[in-house]
Chain A
């Protein structure tokens, strides 16, 4: 499935890191980074939609963090009304297009589909959602919502990722004037910079942002970073409400010597580089790659390194495989892509040659009866031209108001996503208790917008 694997040079004796760009023929990149799940054809979609039983009080709908009326939108595909289907989706989730691509449906809607329970073959809800939303977006330039008359209220939304976009759109629908800020050059957040390329081809993240902004009443300002050229106190003073959707700007470290040496990289940075690359053939790719971590980010970097031509890629996770945060589907994707998953091992030391990583020493682990992780003392060594850290991200707290209530390094919010500051709401990865999914971020933004609207209308 991976086009054009590099030839292995058995005679290589060169010392130092084996890192090179353009390990593959140019046309192999397009093939390797093509759509993971191509869009269903109309007939396929109709047949698949016909499999849906239109369940009463459907379990899939209950499992959807944004409560999309799934049986309804599937029925609308079945009746030849894909635009109506998309409207049903957008009603609950304006980022339904991206969620259709990146949601771990196998642990959400499709896991509880009665057909999954009955026969192990759920209705392909994610792919049907994509069919409907793609159909709508290819035929319409604007969102299906009409903006209410302006209320004159001003809301600042900080962070233009899934949570911020969702919140901004809903607020705009209610007639509020939204100023949307983002630290990076482009809006979209992780949709633009973080999602694996093969899940969002053809610049979809940017197209979706454009689609959302057509509602009007949203003033997008990029290159604006909290604590840099943006100040929370000032935002609160100049707006009626503030929604923080700043994500997790920091990256956890391994806490080992030599971590700052050449070849030891943050996975999120490299993934961002892949997404923004005009030419994948110019990205540096190690021959031997080790990824530390067990979540989606670990899988995303590992698979993409393999697709870029790395000879061997190993994900190292410190616990059992069933404890990995990456879904079963993601784990399977990694393994069928040729990525090796090494479990029950943790970083011990990073070895360096000429200032550059050359190998990583790992210690085998066991889990005690109390769930605590213990090193066994057994050490193994993996050759590594590149080591990627994918061991979690952190909230950059310095830029926030000192009076904002935090816990476990995240912002504390209520069910309405309001913080302890009455005029500040928050959502997405930066809040406590989230699942760090695109779809939950969208829900946060939506719920916060409704709460803000209620507060401003009071």
Chain B
């Protein structure tokens, strides 16, 4: 069995699966249950200053469901811990003492004054927790009070607070980033500049889950009114993957350890985050949907996959996909693929045809020699992959690359064997004219 042990900025855990700072890590009872279930670590739900915040007493969560009530996306308006600081600290100390092999990181959020950070860091250090995570991410509630994402949206504040934390504490420091910005590289660079040991992302996304059309109010509503909440769960994974990759491949932050968060539901999601550079992953929605037991197959599935691939430790594939994340301008324009429909697998639903006919390139038949039959018209196919995505049968439609030297029936031109991209394309006014030299 592959070795899943993880050393993330010096914080060791038996596996890379941590529970994110969120409701599942609000107190000793839950965290101990999580550790018993096998979770490698937790980021304790964000601590703030006393007096503790209060939460609404109506709905805190809303969801997007599939037709069979599969939970696709979740949002919340819960604030940071609403329990007294001292109780949390006592519990953290006890849990760390009882579970020394697990990662225990403490999430923090206090006002942007140096003394406030000095005070809380001192108390957290006494718990012997493994590190701190600075919550610059939560988009709801606390941001209205100048904390959470209000800090995460201003790189200068991130750098300033991170610097205080590193100055006043010996603990490893993870900066948790908000996705509610236009370019995630800027806050990541600021975190690094401030001395952060790592970043974690993404926190939740500003969202309204729906509108109750009878009440004419956002849903869920608290006494008829709703406020935007933080969106998470499987639906946000693509956004999170992109942001992780952006930081991993940015020359200024390349190599900065990343804890990947956002829709990790099964082992494969974790492997994908790790391939894009995450050294650990944090999970919340999957646990909130199914309970802590989900970690069992995360561990087993990742390990089995590593065995199949011949990886013996996680470092062997962390970041492996980063070099293949490119900019559009560098994609090979001489690579030509055509859709191909496997007629034995085709169930003749016709979705590929109508998608192509109505919305794309009119490159799929619906009738051949008077029979219902769906075939790709190579003369029209631009290789866009839409048919592959709308086909209900897996692997029925595949994208087949054309061999160099063959003639593309659409352009009537031979497929070039050499790589060429937009930067040198004749249609590009900014093209590098003498690329060969």
Contacts and interface: CB of A to CB of B under 8 A. Distances in A.
Instruction: Tell me, yes or no, whether A binds B.
Output: yes
Interface of A: 43, 46-47, 49-50, 53-59, 78, 114-115, 117-118
B372 interface: yes
B351 A50 contact: no
Nearest to A62: B372
Interface string B128-156: 00000000000000000000000000000
B348 A117 contact: yes
Given A59-B372, A114-B348, 15 more contacts: A46-B68, A50-B68, A53-B349, A53-B392, A55-B349, A56-B349, A56-B350, A56-B353, A57-B366, A58-B350, A114-B349, A115-B347, A117-B347, A117-B348, A118-B347
B351 A49 contact: no
B413 interface: no
16 contacts: A46-B67, A50-B66, A53-B349, A53-B392, A54-B351, A55-B349, A55-B351, A56-B350, A56-B351, A57-B350, A57-B372, A58-B350, A59-B372, A78-B67, A114-B349, A117-B348
A110 to B, nearest CB: 14
Q: What 4 pairs between A and B have smallest CB-CB spacing? A: A56-B350, A50-B67, A56-B354, A118-B347
A117 B348 CA distance: 9
B424 to A, nearest CB: 41
Contacts of A50: 66-68
Contacts of A46: 67-68
A115 B350 CA distance: 13
Interface of chain A, main secondary structure = helix
Interface string B345-365: 001111101100000000000
B37 interface: no
A270 to B, nearest CB: 44
Contacts of A118: 347, 393
Contacts of A117: 347-348
Interface of chain B, main secondary structure = loop
A150 to B, nearest CB: 39
A244 to B, nearest CB: 37
A50 B68 CA distance: 8
Interface string B323-359: 0000000000000000000000001111101100000
A57 B348 CA distance: 10
B29 to A, nearest CB: 33
A63 B238 CA distance: 41
A36 to B, nearest CB: 25
A324 B220 CA distance: 57
A398 B301 CA distance: 78
Contacts of B68: 46-47, 50
A115 B347 CA distance: 8
A59 B69 CA distance: 29
Interface centre among B66, B67, B69, B372 (most CB of A within 10 A): B67
Contacts of B66: 50
A59 B367 CA distance: 13
Nearest to A118: B347
Contacts of B353: 56
B348 A59 contact: yes
A58 B348 CA distance: 9
Nearest to B393: A118
B68 to A, nearest CB: 5
A447 B353 CA distance: 31
Interface residues of B, number: 15
B181 to A, nearest CB: 35
B392 A56 contact: no
A58 B347 CA distance: 12
A53 B392 CA distance: 8
Contacts of B67: 46-47, 49-50, 78
Contacts of B393: 118
B198 to A, nearest CB: 41
Interface in B58-110: 66-69
B66 to A, nearest CB: 8
A117 B343 CA distance: 13
A358 B11 CA distance: 91
Contacts of B348: 55, 59, 114, 117
Interface in B184-213: none
B18 to A, nearest CB: 34
A43 B69 CA distance: 9
Contact of A114 (B69, B347, B354): B347
A43 B66 CA distance: 11
A124 to B, nearest CB: 14
A53 B348 CA distance: 10
Contacts of A115: 347
Contacts of B69: 43
B126 to A, nearest CB: 52
Contacts of B349: 53, 55-56, 114
A313 B69 CA distance: 46
Contacts of B372: 57, 59
A56 B351 CA distance: 6
Nearest to A56: B350
Nearest to A52: B349
Contacts of B392: 53
A115 B393 CA distance: 11
Interface centre among A47, A55, A59, A78 (most CB of B within 10 A): A55
Contacts of B366: 56-57
Contacts of B350: 55-58
Contacts of A47: 67-68
Contacts of A43: 69
Interface centre among B66, B349, B393 (most CB of A within 10 A): B349
A144 to B, nearest CB: 22
A47 B68 CA distance: 5
A53 B353 CA distance: 13
Contacts of A53: 349, 351, 392
Interface centre among A56, A58, A59, A114 (most CB of B within 10 A): A56
Contacts of B351: 53-56
Nearest to B345: A118
A118 B392 CA distance: 11
Nearest to A46: B67
A114 B67 CA distance: 20
A118 B391 CA distance: 13
B392 to A, nearest CB: 5
B153 to A, nearest CB: 37
B341 to A, nearest CB: 14
Interface centre among A47, A49, A58, A118 (most CB of B within 10 A): A118
A78 B68 CA distance: 11
A56 B68 CA distance: 24
A232 B423 CA distance: 85
Nearest to B354: A56
A54 B350 CA distance: 9
A445 to B, nearest CB: 30
A131 to B, nearest CB: 14
Contacts of A78: 67
A332 to B, nearest CB: 25
A56 B365 CA distance: 12
Contacts of A56: 349-351, 353-354, 366
A111 to B, nearest CB: 14
A317 B347 CA distance: 37
B331 to A, nearest CB: 31
A388 B393 CA distance: 49
A58 B366 CA distance: 11
Interface string B361-405: 000001000001000000000000000000011000000000000
Interface centre among A49, A78, A114 (most CB of B within 10 A): A114
